[in-house]
Structure formats: C-alpha cells, structure tokens
Amino acid sequence: MEALYNALRKNPNIAAWKVNVNHRETCELFYVQKKVETVRATETVDYTVTIYVDKGEARGQSTFAVYPYMGEKEIERLIEENVFAASFALNKFYEIPEPEPFEAPKPSGNLADKPFAETIKEIGEAIMKANVVPNASLSATEIFLNKNQKEVHNSKGVDVSFVTYECKIETIPNYVHEKEEVEIYQPISFSLFNPEELTAKIAEAISVVKDRAEAIKMPDVGSIPVIIDDEESVAQFFYTIADDLNYQAAYTHSNLFEIGQNLQEGGDGDPLTIEFKSIVDGAINSSPIDGDGVVLKPVTVIDAGVTKSRFGSYRFGYYLGEKHPTGQPAVLTAAPGTLDEKEIAKAPYLRCVRFSGIQTDLENNFFGGEVRLGYYFDGKKEIPVTGFSIQGDYKAAIKSMRLSKKKSTYDFYQGPKFIYIPDVKVH
C-alpha cells in the first residue's frame, strides 16, 4: 500500500505517524449439531493508521482504518479529515518509539506444524468426541484457525513484523431437562493444540450446562470460603491487581499502590508473584512487540507480595520520564500456589465456575458478582447451585488467598487454575 505511505510522508501537517498491518489467513469450519455445514478459507489485510499533529507543546492523535481497495485521492481525503480531528484532541506532548534491535521469534504453539485443513479437521474431531452426553448437544460450533502476520511501521523508522497462530472456537452446549432447554455460550482459544485437553474442555462445558439445568437454589450460608474457578474471572482478578501499577495510573494519580509496598503484609496466604511476558505457549495474546512497536521484555511487577515495578504504554512511560518504557504487555503470568483439590475438601466451601461477569474494583475494595453456576461442598459432596451472588473484601483477599498448584492458560493469562478465598459473603 505504497499510496498510503506516500500520502503520510508528504502531508505537511503530520508531525508523526504509525501504521499497524494485520495480514490474516484463515481456515473456518462450521458445525450444526454434529454435521459439518461449511468449510471456507479467507485472506484479509487490515491497515490501522494513527497520525499525530503538534500544536505548540501539545500533541493530538487520530486513528482510522484504510482498506486495500482505496485509491490515492480517497486516502489523502481521509488523512486530511483525521488531521483536522487530531488538532482538536490535544494532550501533553509525547514522543513515539524509535527502532530497537529485533529478531522475530518462532511463533508460539504448534498450529503451524501442519496444513490448516488437516489441523482444523483434527480440532473438529476432538470437539465432537465430547458430544455424546444423553439429552445434551453442541447446537452450533464454529472453529476459526488463523495465521496473523503483523507489522508496525512508524515515521521514526520502526519497521517490524512477526507471525502468530491462533485457534478460536465458539460453541453452544445445551441440555434438555424436564422439557426445559438450557444453553451456555462457550468460547475457547489457544495456540497450543492438544486433542485430549480440548475434548476434556468441551466435556466440561457440557457437564456445566447439564449441572446448570439441574442446579438447586444456593442455601443460606452467610459467609463461606469461596473458590473462583472460572478461567476468565481468575485472569481478571489478577490483572486488576497488576493494572494498578500501570504507568497511566501513576501519571493520573489514580494508583493505590506504591513501589516497594507489601500487598500481603500481615496475611497468611500464598505469596503473590506476577510477571508480564511476551510469549507464553497457548496464550493467543502472545506477541514479541506491542502495538506501538516496542520490543517486549519480561517485567516482574509483584514479587512475593511486594510491588517491584511499573509497566505500560510508551506514551505514559514517556510522561513519567522512563528511559525504556516496557510497552503494553502481552501475557500476565502468576506463580502457582500450594493448594490442591484434596486439601480444600476438608471443610465446606463454595466453588464458582460460571459468572455472569465478575466485578473487580480495587478503589472500592470490592470483588464479586452474580454466579450462574457454583458447587456447594457440604462436607461430603459437591451440589450444583445457582441464583446467588458473592461479595468480598479485595485487599483482605489478596492477603489471605490460597492459589492452586495446578495452572491454566487463558488468552492473556497463565497461572493458578483457581483462587481459594477463606471469607466471602454469599447472598
């Protein structure tokens, strides 16, 4: 798209620019029940352009999309419109990144090991192996296998590219119980394909929808130990803690934590260690560079409960005077803990496996939300329960929580599979 770069270079009102390119090749497979309905391949190229306009000691920016079918005149008109928009969105001046030494790593995972057509067939077969439960089915399943070639170019000379592979699955398990049908939406994503693990994950989703259909109302227990065992909610729980150490939070004085602070002082839980990494096998957010073209390196933000360093975008790192801003991290990793399933079965607890959306609010010292499915352990067995919410003290939970030995991997997370919090209100 040489017309785009020519137009950016010759416009006198543009102080700097950045172009993000994503060249995507996909193989897609669609099932209705157990029957393959559609197989198709696609190829697309997306250009996302950011222009920067300076006025005095201020800098404005505007971001817009450019499509391959656009001609030179249309691109120039679009740029002029965004120059105008950027001149009214001014902030304190900041630089954009300069080039760094970079060698694109081998893509994480194993999705590049075979032709897509072969791999996506194996993925479909692994999913359908679990679709065998009486009164239950996968009403619809969509599989997207993607190769992304990503590029970042800017007016300072940044010119980097790398390749990632990912699989995204959307499926709807349903279960018929006493003439009533219950269904859930189950997304799954990975870059490391293990057929047995995928079959087990789908089987778990079918088990969840069956238990949801048969669940009883949660007994009135007041406060009880709660296990958060929903991968997205666990990831969000940790990310909210780490995000308080973001450059932007420090710059806007909205942060609660200071560097060197012991978040678990006086507590008796498992030590919390959080590190951001660029590449983690299985996590589809893995990326060696961020969207600004900053080369990502590991950064430990919390070590055994003690805050160690801040992180974040080049812009806000620049505002804080950081010599080498970390860039916007790709994957959060949390160290596993000491807890296993046998230990938690010694006393009653409530295990929450499906939230309608967990709420994590450090400023108001709150975590919780509505739980669509949980398992109440009464001291002898787990009973599926629904129709309740949980509410906990966030800062107290950080000090007292126990973390599982077993790890799991989610889009932007790898760490403990579940979190055990000893005192949470249930209502």
Q: Give the pLDDT confidence score for residue 177 in this predicted structure.
A: 86
Encoding tokens for residue 52?
Answer: 């920067």
Q: Give the pLDDT confidence score for residue 180 in this predicted structure.
A: 83
> Do the Cβ atoms of 148 and 163 come closer than 8 Å?
yes
Q: If residue 190 lies in a helix (H) or strand (E), which one and from where to where? A: strand 186-190
Q: What is the mean pLDDT of the chain?
A: 96
Encoding tokens for residue 389?
Answer: 């919410």
Mean pLDDT confidence for 124-152: 95
Neighbours of 170 (CB within 10 A): 15
What are φ and ψ of residue 386, in 5° steps? -150, 175
> Is a pLDDT exceeding 90 seen at residue 341?
no
Mean pLDDT confidence for 277-305: 97
User: CA dist 206 to 8, 128, 209, 384, Å?
Assistant: 52, 11, 5, 14
> Is a pLDDT exceeding 80 seen at residue 179?
no
Q: If residue 207 lies in a helix (H) or strand (E), which one and from where to where? A: helix 195-214
* CATH top-level class of 2-214: alpha beta
269: left (phi over 0), alpha (psi -120 to 50) or beta: beta
What is the pTM (predicted TM-score) of this model? 0.94
Reported as a pLDDT band with limits 50, 70 and 90, residue 96 is: very high
Alpha helices by DSSP H, 215-323: 231-243, 247-251, 314-319
Q: Give the pLDDT confidence score for residue 357 in this predicted structure.
A: 87
Each domain of the chain, given as residue ranges in start order, spans 2-214, 216-426
End-to-end Cα distance, the chain: 57
